[in-house]
Structure 1
Amino acid sequence: MLVLLVVAGLVGATAEAVIARSDDERYRSPGRLVTVAGTDIHLNCTGTGAPTVVLEAGLGEPSLSWADVQSSLDDGLRVCGYDRAGLGWSGAADDGAWTGEEAAAHLAGLLSAAGEQGPYVLVAHSVGALVSREFRQAHPEEVTAMVLLDPTDDEAVRTGGVPTVAVVERRIRGLLARTGVLRWSGEWLVPAVVGDQPPQALLSRLPAAYHPGAIEASLRELRGTVASADHLLRQEDSSWGDLPVTVVSAASASRPQRDAHAALAARSSRGEHVSAESGGHYVHYADPQWVVGLVREAAATAG
């Protein structure tokens, strides 16, 4: 049985390597590549209007994770999603450690190089909230509102460290990607793993979204979350003034997580803490139209 599994894995890996060579033609990017600090970053901006909404995906997730939200927002708003280095259609990151501070600096460079104008409404999911908070810290005059979906608790991350289970999970994902399992079974496997139904635009392009390089990039991000959380706890402003901020807790969030989210919202005199009524951590998968409403409210308030 072990020999059969090894042989099957080798055959799958060989077939995957051959098929993947034509993925660039088969799965064309919805946006364009913009060079930032020597790396080609995939940026997809749609719609017109102001302020500009910038979508920040969660740990290891591509910009397509926002597909349903973005397609419903770009009527009357400029909406930009992008793939962080190594993810989706973006070029590979350098060999250094990932930090939210560095990712925020890359985002600022991306928006500038692409000619996208502020002010910005930052909409972030999970670990992406660390990046959006670093961006706001560095460019407070350019951020007019924030919507944070089930954001990562920086104190819990700094205390708990990098979870071994999450590392192992991504190693398994990498193996599934390299052997072709994710390509052929991803449309049911990915929803089963995340617990909610991702956008069809993502499911139809899984090999481009979760290729082996992207899995490695997600591991790099995972390992950098502790330092990122620590940097925010040491350097971030404790008060966000009257910045419109909406912090969303998932329906499945624990009491400590909800408390952390409420405290984050309380940093602003115009902060609001709300809870999703259904679904899990991927709030924008479970109820994208509700999220769209929250973002439109934030944009209108900011305007």
Structure 2
Amino acid sequence: MPEISTDSARDTTIESPRPVIARRRSGPRRVGRRLAIVLALLVGAGLTGAGAEAVISQSDDERYPLPGRLVTVAGNGLHLNCTGTGAPTVVLEAGLGEPSLTWADVQPSLDDGVRVCSYDRAGLGWSRGGDNGAWTAEQAAADLAGLLSAAGEREPYVLVAHSVGVLVAREFRQAHPEAVTAMVLLDPTNAEAVRNGGVPPAGVVERRIQGLLARTGVLRWLGEWLVPAVVGDQPPPALLRQLPAAYHPRSIDASLQELRGTVASVEHLLREEDPSWGDLPVTVVSARSATEADRDAHAALAARSRAGQHVSAGSGGHHLHYADPHWVVGLVREAAATAD
């Protein structure tokens, strides 16, 4: 019995530590193998998704036909969608990287009695181009002038612009003051803040991620949930139904170019723009979420005109025309009623 007990003790004290040591040494290897497997699966899924997206997107032109028409401007086909008849002509200018579909809840409610035009800037939505180098609001305004002229859309124009699109509207008014009869500016980009802060790295990263999601098909399949979550307001149903036409990879690349071009754009405006807008009817709207500095900048914009007014939205975030399209329509109708 004592001998059996001794052998048993020897088995316990000598043999049992070996598996423990073996497990400790093999742990990092197992973790490494698992990470490698996960990484391989992610890469495989990304490649598979990118391949599938490349095939599916080839039929997007048939699946999502453009609402308007393509007009050639400076070698690019720009998408212009005009509805309604009458005067003045209301021109809708979207925010940073946004397609013409951003106005889908506004345009149908405006085209009773006036002409209303939305369009996609170069590279965005259904428009071509957008890969000709650095973007500036000045060039975008020149494209808009060429687009309206080539399409035969008549003056005077009521410019309705959102966010970065306000920079384009201001450049258009600066170049063609006689053609603009009123402006409605929705939560404008704060030019001084952009000049002082530069291009936000977070914005660049966000668009690179969006581009990856678009190229791998994630945005196509999950965009109806992702886009509202990123925007913070509920986009128009028409936009969500046509997400692949609104936020395709080329469009997101153009959006990144616009973001990078905002600093040069505001520097040009701050240097060249007229400080006085005379008696031009101007309505500048601050979002409920606007900072105090932004509100001050918006009030200063409105004060450039003796007929300017600064108002604040009562609901929603930055995308005022998503949160309360009927209120925005009312502001635009009031502006259109002042047209000479």
TM range (shorter): over 0.9
Would you say 1:65 and 2:119 are equivalent positions? no
- For residue 171 of structure 2, the aligned residue among 131, 134, 141 is 134
- Alignment-derived partner of residue 241 in structure 2: 204
SS at structure 2 position matched to 1:113: helix
Distance 2:294 2:190 in 1: 7
Is the 1:92–1:213 Cα contact (8 Å) retained in structure 2?
no
Given candidates 206, 222, 236, the residue that maps to 1:169 is: 206
Residue 281 of structure 2 corresponds to residue 244 of structure 1 = yes
- Tell me which amino acid in the other structure corresponds to 1:75: D
- 3-state SS of the aligned residue for 2:106? helix
Runs of 4+ deviating beyond 3 Å = none
- Choose from 109, 113, 127 the match for 2:146: 109
SS at match of 1:55: strand
Distance 1:96 1:187 in 2: 31
Q: CA deviation at 1:4?
A: 1.0
Give the one of 50, 58, 65 matched to 1:28.
65
Cα displacement (A) at 1:296: 0.1
Deviations 1:270-289 (A, max 9, x none): 00000111111000000000
Count of equivalent residues = 303
SS in 2 for 1:302: coil
Per-residue deviation, 1:217: 0.1
Find the partner of 1:233 among 270, 292, 300.
270
Letter in 2 for 1:166: G
Q: How much has 1:94 moved relative to structure 2?
A: 3.7
SS in 2 for 1:21: helix
- Among 60, 72, 81, the residue aligned to 1:44: 81
Q: State the one-letter code of the partner of 1:69.
A: V
Q: 2:116 aligns with which of 70, 79, 82?
A: 79
Q: Distance in 1 between matches of 2:193 and 2:269?
A: 13
Match of residue 56, structure 1, among 77, 93, 114: 93
Q: Deviations over 1:9-67 (max 9, x none)?
A: 11111100000000000000000000000000000000011100000000000000001
Shift of 1:301: 1.7
Q: What root-mean-square deviation, in Å, do the aligned CA atoms of Structure 1 and Structure 2 show?
A: 0.6
Matched, 1:181 2:181: no
2:206 maps to amino acid: E
Q: Corresponding residue for 1:146?
A: 183
Q: How does 1:247-286 map to 2 (within 5 A)?
A: 247-286=284-323
Offset from partner CA, 1:134-163 (integer Å, 9 cap, x none):
000000000000000000011111110000
Classify the secondary structure of the residue corresponding to 1:68: coil
2:284, 2:298 within 8 Å by CA — same for their partners in 1? Answer: yes
- Give, in angstroms, the shift of residue 188 of structure 1: 1.1
TM-score (norm 2): 0.88
Name the structure, 1 or 2, with higher relative contact order (CA <8 Å, separation 6+): 1
**Larger helix share, 1 or 2:** 2
Out of 8-17 and 91-100, give the one that drifted further. 91-100
CA distance in 1, matches of 2:137, 2:78: 16
Q: Answer yes or no: is the 8 Å Cα contact 2:156–2:339 preserved in 1.
A: no
* Alignment-mate amino acid for residue 193 of structure 2: A
Give the SS at the match of 1:4: helix
Counterpart residue type for residue 247 of structure 2: Y
Rg: which structure is higher? Answer: 2
Residue 143 of structure 1 aligns with an amino acid whose one-letter code is: V
Task: Provide the TM-score with structure 1 as the length reference.
Answer: 0.99
Once the two structures are aligned, what percentage of the paired residues are identical?
80
1:222 matched residue in structure 2: 259
- Alignment gaps of 5+ in structure 1: none
Distance 1:258 1:166 in 2: 22
